[in-house]
Structures are given as C-alpha cells and as structure tokens.
Structure 1
Amino acid sequence: MTGMSEYRVMTVNMWADFTHLFGTKVFSHRIHSIEALIDTYHPDVIGAQEVTSSMMKYMDRILREYGICGKQRKSLMNNEANPVLYRKDRFELLEEKTLWLSDTPEVEGSRYAMSQFPRIVTIVTLKNRLNGDTVTFANTHLDVNFASVRQKQAEKLCELLAKERSPICLTGDFNSHEKHDSIMTIRQAGYDDCASIQLGSTLRGNIGSRRFSHMPIDHIFFDCSFSRKEIHKLTETPQNIWPSDHYPLFAVLTTHA
C-alpha cells in the first residue's frame, strides 16, 4: 500500500427481467432509477446480482463509465450473472474470473446437490490508477432455498478468496443474515460486515423481510486491509420508481496507510 485510499462500493440486486414482463416493475423501466442512484452515489465499484444477457442492452449509459466483468452461471433457465462493474477512469483491470461454488469451481455449470441453480462468484483484480495499488473485489449470490447449501457455498467462497490478494471486498445477495451459519463462516474467515442489524431488512416485501427476521441479507464484507467509513441502505425511489425488490447498499471503505 502506498497510502490511504477511499473506495465507494455498492451492491444491488437488479431483479432479473424474467420476473416481470409488463408494468412499472420491468427492468427497462427500473433501470432509470438504478442509473439515478449510481449518479447520486457515484460508486467506484458495483456488485450486481440477477443480471441476464437481455438486461445488458438497457445498461448502455452505465457502461459508458463502468467496465463490466463476469460470466453467466450456465443454468438451463434463469441464466443470471453476478457482474462486477468498475469505474474505468479509476481502475485498470488486471484480472477477472468467474468460479462456480461447487466441488469443481472451474467446471462451468457445476453445483452442489440441492442447489436450485449453479451459483458463482465473480472475482476481479483492479489497479488503482491514482497510486498503483491493487485491490480485489468479489461478488456472489447464494442459494435461496436451503441453509445447508448456503453453508457449503460460503465455505467454498472463503476457500477461493483465501487464494486472492488482499485487500479484498466481497459483495452480494447472500440470502442470509448475520445469525446464519453462512455469514458466520465468512466472518470467521476474517471479514467484517458493513451490513449490521441496525440497517433492517434489505428486502422490500413484508414476507421476505419476515422470513429473514427483518435483517439484511445483502452484504458488503471487507478484510483487515480495509476500514469502514460509511454504510447506507438506499431507500430512495428516483423518479418514483423502485430500483429493485431489494434495497441497494452503499459503503465507503478506506485502506490503511
């Protein structure tokens, strides 16, 4: 590290476009709200979940400023990606990879038994153009159905990230709150969590919020090379449009001098 650097990080579940084909919830309508949040908070890095190939054509304005990395998960249906987006003026991309949360992480489409879909992690290594420092950002989306599956995915995630270069920031929709084993596994691996109970649910719907005891299931983790400066749950509705069925999270992290 050449000195203290500040990183503005956002995680947002973009709500896959196949869930709504008509009305105000379609992605082609909601993207304008997402763009407005990005314009307001100007994150350096964004971890996005539930991004399909058909959604990309509506992201042109975002992609003028941001590079995007990450493969789709290779499922026969609902073929989503968890891309990492980064400001092209701030970073040089050194490496990117997508790995599967399974016993064979380099085998595309692989999964654990009982996992509804293959689950992936996108990992990028970026070079800070201001000072030459390298930073690792990872983004994931864990299984929605079974805690035992999420636990195995979290263990594999920590195993994969242990091979990466610090500092490391991990974002995603973990379908788990801080009292669940999967989140405790990540914390025990040396990561702090920006998403505290005080933020409340990161799901908008009452049913989902009750399922997770009104606690955050979207998280921004960081290793010991970072310190947390700010964390915000974004409840705004730009242009009176909800950006997603999740509330995005925005954090400011600093690296130690």
Structure 2
Amino acid sequence: MKKLAYLLLGTLLVTSVKAQMPVELNVMTYNIRYDNPDDNQNNWKYRRDNAANAIRFYDADILGTQEVLHNQLQDLKERLSGYDVVGVGRDDGKEKGEYSALWYKKDRFTLLDSGNFWLSETPLITASKGWDGACVRIASWVKLKDKKSGKSLFALNTHFDHIGVVARKESVKLILNKVAELSKGIPVIVTGDFNAEPESNVIKGLTDTSNNKHLIDSRTVSPIVYGPAWSFHDFGRIPLNERTLIDYIFVRNGVKVLKYGVLAETKDSTFLSDHAPILVRIAIK
C-alpha cells in the first residue's frame, strides 16, 4: 500500500509540475494568395512547395492561412502531413470560395472543439455577406489541448473585408465578442489578414484597452522584433516605403510573446506569396 501511495504521490507531483511549466509554441499567420492564373511566375503552382517548406522549416505549431482555395488546401494537406486542418469554403460552407483554414500539429494537440462563423449580421448563416462588405468573409476557430502539459488554448483565424467601412467596424465587434464567448477565459491566439494598418480604426478597435474584451498585438509586446515593418508587398511590386503591415497575430488571457518576425523571403526570384508570413514564439502559463 505504501508503494502504491508513493507512486500516486509521485504521479500527482509530476502532473502538478507540468501544469505549472509554461508551454512554448510557434504560431504563424500566412496569406498564401489565392490560385490566380494571371499571377504568371508567381502562380501557386510555382510557390506551393516553397510555401509548405517554409511552414515546416519554421516549425509552426499553429498556423492561420487566408485566401486558400480548395485545390490549395489539398496541395497543403499533401505537403503538411503532420497537420490537421479546420475550415470551410466561405461561399457555401463546404468547398467553394476561400477558406480561412486553421492548421495545428496533430501529434502535439488534441482537438476539443471547432467551428466557423461568417463576418455578418447573421454569423451562423452560411455564406452571409456582412453589412457593406465587398466579399463574403469567414472565421474558423479551434479549442486545442496540448497533449504533454494538458493545457488548453483557443485559436481563431480570419480575413477582414478590404472595402466595407461598416463591415470592418462591425467585424471588430463580432470578433471580440466571439473570442470572449468561445474561449471562456483560456489562452487566446487570433491570426489573420485584417486589411488594416496598425494606426487604423480596425486595429485600434481590436486592441482598445478600455474594452475588457480587447486583444493584444503580438508585435507591440515582443521583446524581439525581426524583419520589416510591413507584410503586404504585392509580389515585390510595391515600393519599400509604401508597403504596409496588414497581417497580425493577436493574443490575450495570459499568453506571453517571446519573439516576433516578418518572414520577407524569396526563393531565387519567387516570393512565398504577395504577403510575408508572420511568425511569433509564445509561452502559455
């Protein structure tokens, strides 16, 4: 009996220590650019191998991708065999239109829950276009449990409208409300292309500290910031001094940012995308 008691006590102590240790993760957001035949040498067929290799090289544990068409989803699935993915096509809730696909390492995480909603007045109605938006927009989310530590986290990935003034303003409110509702206080990661610069009303709205549901821009709290201060470059066609930062990784609920980088890379003359991916290293207590 004493041996059994000691074994149980040892197990409880190990479990307690694991629960107290911070969990470190690599998180990436990556607008892969939809498969547009007019992109010529920048077309997806010339970029897909390098795009997948970048994700694997930077060892992303959680990855938010935007502008993903179904054939691109299949291409990435073939090349990222270590990942599971959540998401649906925004135009039919199945395979039509762009996905805001959210990926996670399947050997590291257990999927607890997942879902999708549309950025509109009726977020649970499939393919509903919101307010004055130019396009149908969607968000995909997951609740994950880290298999080693037992810690849970919430991750959401989205792509804001690029034109609709009301749509962008209301999408801020919707995302903050949904994150608060769905995460229920566990650590939060929000990735996406928000089509908005840091000083815009969109980003200020998401990070407004007077709102108790606000998010934290990982760049602004990282002790190490690497790479340029822009993410969108249109395959290098935009002059350096005119490029803007419109891709973000936000956090809240006890997530500590350890480092942040903009991956403005090319292979020979081929870009990863018309956006540079963003990578952050985080710790969850």
TM-score (norm 1): 0.90
Q: CA contact under 8 A between 2:190 and 2:251: conserved in structure 1?
A: yes
Deviation, structure 1 residue 213:
5.9
**3-state secondary structure, aligned to 1:85:** strand
Residue 33 of structure 2 corresponds to: 15
Q: Residue 85 of structure 1 is aligned with which of 100, 103, 108?
A: 103
Aligned-partner Cα distance in 1 for 2:283–2:166: 34
Q: 8 Å contact 2:56–2:80 — kept in the other structure?
A: no
Measure, in 2, the Cα distance between the counterparts of 1:223 and 1:178.
Answer: 18
How far, CA to CA, are the matches of 2:206 and 2:107 in structure 1?
A: 31
Q: What RMSD, in angstroms, separates the aligned Cα atoms of the two structures?
A: 2.5
1:121 to 130, 139, 162: 139
Consecutive unaligned residues in structure 1, runs of 5 or more: none
Deviation string, structure 1 residues 138-166 (Cα, Å, up to 9, x no partner): 00000011333211111111111111222
Query: Do the aligned partners of 1:147 and 1:182 also contact (CA within 8 Å) in 2?
Result: no
Report the Cα distance in structure 2 between the residues aligned to 1:45 and 1:207, rounded to whole angstroms: 29
Partner residue in 1 for 2:282 = 253
Q: Which has the higher contact order (CA 8 A, sep 6+)?
A: 1
Which one of the candidate residues 182, 200, 206 is aligned to 1:186?
A: 206
Residue of 185, 193, 196 corresponding to 1:176:
196
Candidates 211, 220, 226, aligned match of 2:249: 220
Report the TM-score when normalising by structure 2: 0.82
Secondary structure of 1:72's counterpart equals coil
Task: From the superposition, tell whether residues 95 and 209 of structure 1 become closer, same or farther in structure 2 (CA, over 3 Å).
Answer: farther
1:11–1:172 CA contact under 8 A, matched in 2: yes
CA contact (8 A) 1:36 1:238 kept: no
Does residue 167 of structure 1 match 2:167? no
> How many residue pairs align between the two structures?
254
- What amino acid sits opposite 1:132 in the alignment? G
Aligned sequence identity (%): 25
CA shift for structure 1 position 31: 0.8
Separation in 2, partners of 1:28, 1:135: 34
Structure 1 CA distance, aligned partners of 2:242 and 2:207?
Answer: 20
Pick from 37, 42, 60 the counterpart of residue 25 of structure 1.
Answer: 42
Question: Within 2, Cα distance between the matches of 1:238 and 1:125?
Answer: 35
Shift of 1:224: 3.4
Partner of 1:153: 171
The corresponding residue for 1:38 is 55
Amino acid at match of 1:172: G
Query: 1:239: how far off?
Result: 5.3
Structure 2 equivalent of residue 234 of structure 1 = 263
Q: Equivalents in 1 of 2:88, 2:176: separation in Å?
A: 20
In structure 2, stretches of 5+ residues that fail to align are 1-18
Return the alpha-carbon distance in structure 1 between the equivalents of residues 108 and 268 of structure 2: 29
